[in-house]
Each structure stands twice: as C-alpha cells, then as structure tokens.
C-alpha cells in the first residue's frame, strides 16, 4: 500500500514520481513495464536507432492507414525507465505559444505553463527571459556539428528563410540548429534527469519489468492496480491516487481494460463497463514526416560515427558524431500566408534515414523533410482484446482531412527548393528518395507512398473530455492521467519538453501547491 501509484516511468511518470517523493511524508510506487536503462545504446545519442524494435520498444504499428495506400506505419515507444525520452532524438522544442493558449483550459496557457518549462530546465546557454539553469533537465547545444547540418541551414537561408538560433525564444519561424536534451554529449532522459537523483529516497519504490494490466476501481474510486511480472500476478494498492503516465497509446488502453471507455467497445470485448466514456482513445493526433534523401560521396555522414577515432573522442571529450541526435538542425515555416503560426517543422539529419529509421543506410547521404505540425486529421486507439498483453488497434487516419495533404504538398515543395540551393550542392549528388517532380500530382503521390510518423502521438485522454483541467479522470475518483495523451491538441513542435512541463504542473496540482505566479516563483 502506497499513497501514490504512478504507472509508467516515461517522460511524465519520471517527473511525477520524483516530485511527489520530494515530500518525505508520502510514499510513492512507480511501476514500469520495461527494464532499467542500463544499456549503453540508450545513453550514446547517435545509437538511438539501435533501440528500435528491441526489448526497449513497444514496437507498435498503425492499422492499415486508409489515406496512405493502406500502409501500416511503424510507431516506436520506449519501454524502459525514461520511456520514450530514453529512445527519442532529443530535440528540445517546447511548441508554439498559441498551442497552449488554444487549449482553452484554465491554468494551461503558455504564460501559465512557462514557469514549469523553466523549473525543469538547465540550459547550457545560461538563464534568460526564455531559459533557466539549475533544473533537472539538461538542455544544450549540439556537439556533433556535422557540416551537413550547417549547409542545410545555409541552404534554407538561400531559399529565402531567415535564421533562428532559438526555437524556444521570441519566435519559432526560421532555420537553425536544435538544442538537445543532453549533458556533456550524453542523453538526458527524464529518468536520468529526475529519477536517478531520487532513487535513494526511502519513500520511493521503482518497480521495473512489471506491466500494469488494469486499474482497480471500487465504488467509483481508483484504489490500486493489478499487473504481471514474468507470469506472476502483482497487485499494488494506492491510498490517495493512481496516476496513469503510460503514454498516448497505453494510457487509454489501460483505462479501457479497466472498464472506462466507449461502452459498445467494452461490451463487445466482454469487459465490464465501469464508466461509459466514449472519448477515451479518441482524438488521437500525430505529426507526419515526408523524407527527402540525397546521396553524395563526402565521407562524413553518421554511418561512420562508430569508428574508433569517433568512439575515442566521445569517451574523452563527449563530442563528435556519436553525440549526434540525428536531426541536428531544422526550421519552422508557414505553408500559407495568413496562418497564425508555423505549420511545418523541418528536421535535417546527416545520415541516410530510411524506412522510419528501420532501414540500414547504404551510403553517405543527407535526409531531411517537413514534419506537419498542425494536423486536422484525428485517429483512435482501441484495445483489441480483453487481454492486457495484446497490442491495441491504432488507426491514425493520417491525411483523412484533405487539407493536411495540401499543406504537406506545399511543405515538401519548399523542401525540394532548399535542395536546389548552392549550399547543399556538395551533399546532393543525386536524389536517393524524392518526388518525381514538384507538381501537385507527383507530390501527393510521393507523400502517400513515403510519409511516415515522426512519433509525436498525443490527445487520447484529452483535457476537457476525458480528464479535467487538474488531469483528474472525469467520473472516477482518485485517478489521474498525466502524459502526452492529455493534450487537447498536439503542440507545434517536439512534445517531450511539453510533456515534462505538464508533469511538473501536475505534480503541483496533486500536492495542492498553488501555481507559481512568475517564473522566479517556480525556481526551487
């Protein structure tokens, strides 16, 4: 019996467990389905691709996507301490101010969330109006500095876009290097940042390799969870609250398996209905990516990152290609005039990035393309069986809304224009993968064949429909959801920073601590 049971030690769960256990008078049990994060490939940034489809990955796929030629799209998710923050590409972008303001949820405007971004942050550029030092999450400039990354930014400038040295500063538009969640060239996951320093606390227990199967609800109140570890059934009880931080696919699946979800689905699967809540698992959103890949003969791409000299440099100095997060540089553009914020985010990686990251590079290349960051299409996550170990049925419905495809066409066209600029000439000997032309028809065809997820799923337990503005599940007592699934709409950017800020705020809500009025109040 603990005061709090937190399910999932990912980006959000690590923060919640660490913050709640700061109070020595409460007991916290953090339960993670995956193992500890001891593997070196988790901590060496450039090795993130080696984690895909391994024991550290839930290894999901979408169902056949109707608007992408019935392709099944790969959806990796971290299954390890740190969750997806232990397997992601470490880009630190918070999102656009209007993302939070448009949520329309009390307490969640950009200005109100800003103190939590700052509380979490330890930026190696120092403190400023937009940044902070001293928080648990290390944010730093990249240490790989591949010449292709700078050439990409320069080509974007030659194509007419401006430079932006800080996508989390005064404005998002423009091109530049990304800041990354790394310390001294190594990954700084939520587990490294928050959990590791808290592990010595006597009031925090972390259970690994324990997959939660259901939330126990008695008389309308969550009282604990049941799960399994290597075939053994385990029950953990909570006297105050159960907090689900299992991520956008698994949190709604867990609610459904616990009888909280669309009654027709639950009834059809033989799951007793605790609460008919049709929106659990709906409103699923994601960002798609349209890859453009150009081959060249310069021997500097990341395929040689593991050479002895680079390994030595990484070990001695924490610098060089092994510190590369993949997409080292990028930029934000608006595909149309008159829209209030960027709707495409370019990611540029100095490597042949093929088949959602699963393909093996066959030569030196630069890969880049637009991520569509303001999608209108919505999908769903539904448990497929009354079996907690079965993968859920995920249908993203990418490009179901035709205007999403129109935007992707414009953004891809912009990407092809960047490829023609002088700065990229040394790195674009020939297209390895690009549309046949930049006509509308060829671009549409290409996107349907090659677009894939960039793995930013959110929205399936959204604030305002499944949880309230304090992230409490509507209709069930003592149960919250805190992870990317609570975002009503997905942020225009890379969600890890926003998820960590959401969890920072949630910890205050759970502890009944008043929201900080200013950024300075948020400092600890």
Q: Which residues contact ligand FAD by CB under 6 A?
A: 7-13, 31-34, 76-79, 83-85, 87-91, 211-212, 245-248, 250, 254, 455-456, 483-484, 494-497, 499
CA angle 146, 449, 399 (to 5 degrees): 100
Helix axes 440-450, 402-419, angle to 10 degrees: 100
Tell me how far apart the alpha carbons of residues 107 and 464 are, in angstroms, rounded to a whole number: 13
DSSP 84-115: GGGTS--B-----HHHHHHH--TT-SHHHHHH
Task: Decide whether 183 or 444 has the Cβ nearer to ligand FAD.
Answer: 183
The answer to whether 123 and 140 are in contact (CB under 8 A) is yes
Taking CB atoms, the residue at the shortest distance from ligand FAD is 10
Tell me how far apart the alpha carbons of residues 381 and 387 are, in angstroms, rounded to a whole number: 15
Tell me how far apart the alpha carbons of residues 353 and 373 are, in angstroms, rounded to a whole number: 20
Tell me how far apart the alpha carbons of residues 229 and 183 are, in angstroms, rounded to a whole number: 33
DSSP 422-442: GGGGGG-SEEEE--SSSSHHH
Tell me how far apart the alpha carbons of residues 468 and 453 are, in angstroms, rounded to a whole number: 28
- Least gap, CB of 498 to ligand FAD (angstroms): 8
In total, the chain counts a number of residues equal to 524
- Least gap, CB of 54 to ligand FAD (angstroms): 12
Strand partners, 430: 295
Tally of CA atoms within 13 A in the half-sphere of 425 that contains its CB:
4
- Least gap, CB of 50 to ligand FAD (angstroms): 12
Catalytically active residues are 456
| C-alpha torsion angle, residues 347, 353, 354, 360 (rounded to 10) | -160
The answer to whether 380 and 349 are in contact (CB under 8 A) is no
């Amino acid at each position: 019996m603990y005061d709090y049971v937190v399910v999932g030690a990912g980006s959000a769960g690590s923060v919640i467990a660490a913050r709640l256990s700061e109070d020595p008078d409460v007991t916290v049990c953090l339960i993670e389905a995956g193992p500890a994060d001891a593997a070196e490939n988790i901590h060496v940034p450039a090795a993130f691709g080696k984690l895909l489809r391994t024991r550290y990955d839930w290894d999901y796929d979408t169902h056949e996507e109707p608007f992408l030629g019935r392709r099944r799209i790969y959806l990796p998710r971290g299954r390890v301490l740190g969750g997806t923050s232990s397997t992601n590409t470490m880009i630190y972008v918070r999102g656009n101010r209007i993302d939070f303001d448009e949520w329309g949820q009390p307490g969640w405007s950009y200005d109100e969330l800003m103190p939590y971004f700052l509380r979490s942050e330890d930026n190696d550029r120092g403190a400023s109006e937009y940044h902070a030092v001293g928080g648990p999450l290390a944010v730093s400039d990249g240490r790989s500095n591949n010449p292709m990354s700078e050439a990409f930014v320069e080509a974007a400038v030659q194509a007419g876009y401006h430079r932006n040295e800080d996508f989390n500063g005064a404005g998002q538009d423009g091109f530049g290097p990304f800041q990354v969640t790394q310390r001294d060239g190594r990954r700084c996951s939520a587990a490294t940042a928050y959990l590791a320093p808290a592990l010595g606390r006597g009031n925090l227990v972390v259970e690994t390799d324990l997959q939660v199967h259901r939330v126990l609800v008695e008389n309308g109140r969550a009282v604990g969870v049941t799960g399994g570890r290597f075939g053994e059934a385990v029950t953990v009880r909570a006297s105050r609250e159960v907090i689900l931080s299992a991520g956008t696919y698994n949190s709604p699946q867990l609610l459904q398996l616990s009888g909280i979800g669309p009654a027709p689905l639950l009834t059809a699967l033989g799951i007793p209905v605790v609460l008919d809540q049709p929106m659990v698992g709906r409103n699923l959103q994601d960002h798609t990516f349209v890859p453009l890949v150009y081959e060249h003969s310069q021997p500097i791409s990341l395929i040689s990152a593991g050479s002895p000299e680079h390994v030595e440099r990484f070990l001695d100095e924490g610098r060089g290609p092994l510190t590369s997060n993949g997409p080292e540089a990028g930029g934000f553009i608006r595909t149309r005039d008159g829209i209030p914020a960027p709707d495409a985010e370019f990611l540029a990686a100095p490597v042949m990035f093929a088949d959602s990251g699963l393909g093996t590079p066959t030569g030196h290349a630069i890969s880049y393309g637009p991520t569509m960051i303001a999608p209108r299409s919505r999908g769903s996550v539904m448990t497929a069986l009354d079996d907690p170990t079965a993968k859920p049925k995920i249908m993203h419905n990418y490009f179901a809304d035709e205007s999403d495809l129109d935007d992707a066409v414009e953004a891809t066209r912009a990407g092809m224009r960047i490829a023609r600029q002088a700065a990229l000439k040394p790195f674009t000997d020939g297209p390895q993968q690009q549309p046949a032309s930049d006509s509308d028809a060829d671009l549409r065809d290409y996107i349907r064949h090659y677009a894939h997820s960039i793995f930013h799923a959110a929205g399936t337990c959204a604030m305002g429909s499944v949880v309230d503005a304090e992230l409490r599940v509507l209709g069930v007592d003592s149960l919250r959801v805190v992870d990317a699934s609570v975002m009503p709409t997905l942020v225009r950017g890379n969600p890890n920073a926003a998820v960590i800020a959401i969890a920072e705020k949630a910890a205050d809500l759970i502890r009944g601590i008043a929201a900080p009025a200013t950024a300075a109040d948020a400092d600890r």
